[in-house]
Amino acid sequence: MTTMYQETVKCYVCGKESKQTVLGSTNSFGSQDLDLRPPEMMRGTMEYWAHECPYCGYIAKNIDLGTVVTEAWLARVEFINANNIEFESELAKRCYKEYLINLEDENKYKAFAVILYAAWACDDAQDIGNAVLCRNLALDLIDELIEKEDDPSTLMLQKIDLLRRSNQFNKALEEFSGIFMEQDLLQDILDFQLEKAKNHDNACYTVEDVKKSIV
């Protein structure tokens, strides 16, 4: 069950108050996608994973928390127009703009997360070209994140999915062939991804699809 409620929030950037819909609780039943997108019901709550100030346009999970961006920065045409990318989904556009804010804040982890959300929103809108664009932007960040992790296996599996879903099949095969994961399930996922890359298959798959393939 998903619960939501209204809350009045003061924007950190402009200081004005607005009513925002807050996600109280949700749940997930089923198998997550290989890029870690959750199943329903959480899957359907992405619209509420961030708030947007209706006055200055600041976007964040909590718009009352700090950022380096200013009202002037948010008023720039390139931000308002999302660098002139013609997204089919307003949610994807909002996620992309949140990505720009996190880049400005030098929060690479959050920037990676929200540009992946943008890709998911593009998937839902059948906006294939921009889904690939967003995955490529995520790939621009992921190597730095992998280097910082003591156990980068999850990010590595996200990377091969990003490569495959953005049609970079040869790169996926070159980079991940011969790599071994310590956990059996993670190795099964990697092997599954490599097989799909060999077949030039860029479709979305779940962890359950991997399990079914080895039964």
Bridge-partner residues for 55, per DSSP?
Answer: none
Identity of the amino acid at 200: H
**DSSP-derived secondary structure letter, 202:** -
Query: Is position 186 within any domain?
Result: yes
Query: Is position 8 within any domain?
Result: no
- The sign of the dihedral angle between the CA atoms of 104, 96, 108, 48 is positive
pLDDT in tens, 104-134: 999 999 999 999 999 999 999 999 999 999 9
Nearest of 106, 110, 111, 136 to residue 122 by alpha carbon: 136
The span from the CA of 88 to the CA of 93, in Å, is 8
Query: Is position 69 within any domain?
Result: no
Which pLDDT belongs to residue 104? Answer: 98
pLDDT in tens, 5-27: 999 999 999 999 999 999 988 88
Q: Per-residue pLDDT averaged across 35-44, rounded?
A: 94
Query: Is position 164 within any domain?
Result: yes
Nearest of 142, 48, 50, 137 to residue 85 by alpha carbon: 137
State how many domains the chain has: 1
Nearest of 55, 87, 53, 56 to residue 71 by alpha carbon: 56
Per the structure, the complete domain to which residue 164 belongs is given by 149-215
pLDDT in tens, 146-205: 999 999 999 999 999 999 999 999 999 999 999 999 999 999 999 999 999 999 999 999
The span from the CA of 134 to the CA of 209, in Å, is 24
Query: Is position 187 within any domain?
Result: yes
CA angle 35, 172, 155 (to 5 degrees): 35
Residue partners of 211: CB distance under 8 A and separation at least 6 = 188
Establish whether the linkage from the previous residue to 41 is cis, with ω within 30° of 0.
yes
Query: Is position 98 within any domain?
Result: no
Query: Is position 188 within any domain?
Result: yes
Nearest of 109, 196, 116 to residue 162 by alpha carbon: 116
Rg over alpha carbons for the chain, rounded to the nearest Å, is 18
Identity of the amino acid at 87: F
Query: Is position 62 within any domain?
Result: no
